Structure 1
Amino acid sequence: MSTLSLAARDSATMLRRNLTHLRRYPAMMIMSLGMPVLLLLLFAGVFGGAMQAGVGGGAYIDYVVSGILLMTVGYGASMTALAVNRDMTEGVISRFRTMAIARVSVLTGHVLGAVLRTVVSAVLVVAVAFLFGFRPAAGPGGWFAALGVVVLLALALTWLAVAVGLLAKNAEGANLFILVVQVLPFVSSAFVRPDSMSGAVRWFARHEPFTPVIDTVRGLLLGTPVGGSAGVAVTWCAGFAVAGYLWSRALFKRDPVR
């Protein structure tokens, strides 16, 4: 059996392990699935009328769905940071280092599990959004492209989350990543247009990494032009994915210091 085949087999085993753990830690699944839906209900059902002025024309639910999808990815990646940190602090990673398995499979299992959870969460968010009046204009190509951007973002944030989970000495340290992915979307185009913001906040919202990703997904779903945001979004996601992967590999190979 080739090295690639062995790595794929070991990665599948680690994926099954991570999916099995969801039964032992149901709070993680509830958080990944429930929080994005709760945010959608909050912003679309409670704040939607008040925030409509910040997005111009069109239904607010159509505007906000792409931002909620990005936060869905963030919550999924956050749960991965905690799961990896738990494996690290409980000595599971150290045991895996001594086993005759492809080392990358330990990390890949976490990443694949997170991406699967994210896709399920995203489908649930879109289904609930339809109940609130979400009416996208995208055809099959637009839906496929939007899903591709979401999956690419999930890979990027999850590899970064894996690195943070390996680096942090405890769960409190891993929570820093959670704080970042939860706060940054609020200072982006997720809930209102950056043009409605003021001063330095407007500049930051226009140039932070999440804004082009949100604008690209929104344009693909609503059938509006995405302009140059697509290229910027893919560049950010690819850069984060590569950086997170290389960082995670380096941390996993090092001798544990605990």
Structure 2
Amino acid sequence: MIEFKGVTKKYDNVIALNNLNLVIPAGKIFGFLGHNGAGKSTTIKSLVSILNPDAGQIIVDGKDLAEQRFLVKKMIGYVPDSPDIFLQLTAAEYWDMLAAAYEIKASEKATRIKELAGSFGILERQDEVMESYSHGMRQKAIIVGALLSEPDIWVLDEPLQGLDPQAAYDLKEMMKKHVAKGKTVIFSTHILDTAQQLCDELAILKKGSLIYNGTVAELLAKEPGKSLEQIYLELAGRKEGE
């Protein structure tokens, strides 16, 4: 279980995250929805220790992130919102770096790379510099790296962006299998159909504040006859005068 307790983050005078109180249970696919600038990436980057909140606590399986950061970070596999990182490395070098950071044995690393990179169709291209990859190929390489250590918690920021239909399908099936083991998947998306299809629970953010937390079914039940898109836009969309 992951708990956000009064988490606040400001950039200069702009409130990116405003007193976020949220519980993410284990064994669920948990989705974050919201317009650009709503606070989704700030929430995710706070959880994976890229950002430090100005106030509040983040508790992961009973561990205070601020006090046990190293232990918590080893529990998490993270896919950022852009795959344009470490482009000077080959995919194999990138995976080697992560394997060293997560202290993965060589035999386990080889098995995981064969399984993951093979399933995403990039095993034969692992010795090419990632700068030469397409956006989708870079995304696949980053996903393989994030899942290499078999982390309990997957934190995926727009993970399907740029993936071909087969890779997107495969990743969604992997997400479902992961939570079936009692593990956790957290992901953000702008694609409402994907959220409706995958998410056990949702959090909708607007201007740094939580405006909805619950299941898709509960949200749809609030407005019978309306689509998720219509309800979402009524909650999070631009109002007249904004």
- TM-score norm. by structure 2 comes to 0.26
Q: Please identify which structure carries the higher helix content.
A: 1
Structure with the largest fraction of strand: 2
TM-score (norm 1): 0.25
